[in-house]
């Protein structure tokens, strides 16, 4: 089974224009999106850390499916010439320092992780143009699919 761990979507429901004083960088949007996802994943019975974390490019949230801990990394890319921007997201396996150095964050993803996120995003009226990508296709933004898995 192919598991796609990267996804892109559009939404006007989240802040993409007003930097907050606590942002590491002026364009580090996504804190409200991360909190929105935390609430909806919890409503599905997924164990999610109560607060998102911040990176220099955006935000992340940590959640557990089965015995595996995952991070969802969230960044925002503004639209060009009046077009709607994109939320760019990647699911990573929590791997620790050495595991991260040796690429473990991209391996061992539990299928339940993208499926839980897909269940939230694909049914939300706030979300549009949701597309799932393999790592290779994500880099090129080609061959986006409607679901996170394929037989």
Which tens digits make up the pLDDT trace of 59-115?
999 999 988 899 999 999 999 888 999 999 999 987 665 445 545 455 567 789 999
Q: How far apart are CA 28 and CA 19, in angstroms?
A: 7
Q: How many domains does the chain have?
A: 1
Would residue 109 count as lying in a domain? Answer: yes
Would residue 31 count as lying in a domain? Answer: yes
Q: How far apart are CA 42 and CA 64, in angstroms?
A: 11
Would residue 139 count as lying in a domain? Answer: no
Average pLDDT over residues 8-16: 97
Would residue 141 count as lying in a domain? Answer: no
Q: Domain range spanning residue 47?
A: 10-130
Inter-CA distances, 108 with 19, 79, 103, 149, Å: 35, 33, 10, 14
pTM of the predicted model as reported, rounded to 2 decimal places: 0.90
Would residue 51 count as lying in a domain? Answer: yes
Would residue 138 count as lying in a domain? Answer: no
């Amino acid at each position: 089974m192919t598991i796609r761990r990267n996804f892109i979507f559009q939404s006007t429901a989240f802040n993409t224009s007003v930097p907050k004083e606590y942002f590491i960088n002026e364009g580090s949007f996504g804190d409200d999106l991360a909190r929105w996802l935390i609430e909806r994943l919890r409503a599905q019975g997924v164990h999610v850390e109560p607060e998102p974390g911040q990176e220099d490019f955006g935000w992340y949230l940590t959640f557990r499916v089965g015995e595996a801990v995952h991070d969802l990394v969230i960044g925002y890319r503004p639209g060009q010439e009046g077009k709607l921007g994109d939320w760019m997201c990647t699911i990573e396996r929590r791997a620790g320092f050495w595991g991260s150095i040796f690429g473990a964050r991209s391996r061992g993803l539990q299928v339940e992780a993208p499926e839980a996120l897909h269940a939230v995003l694909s049914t939300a009226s706030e979300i549009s143009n949701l597309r799932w990508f393999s790592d290779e296709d994500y880099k090129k933004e080609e061959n986006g699919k409607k679901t996170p898995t394929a037989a």
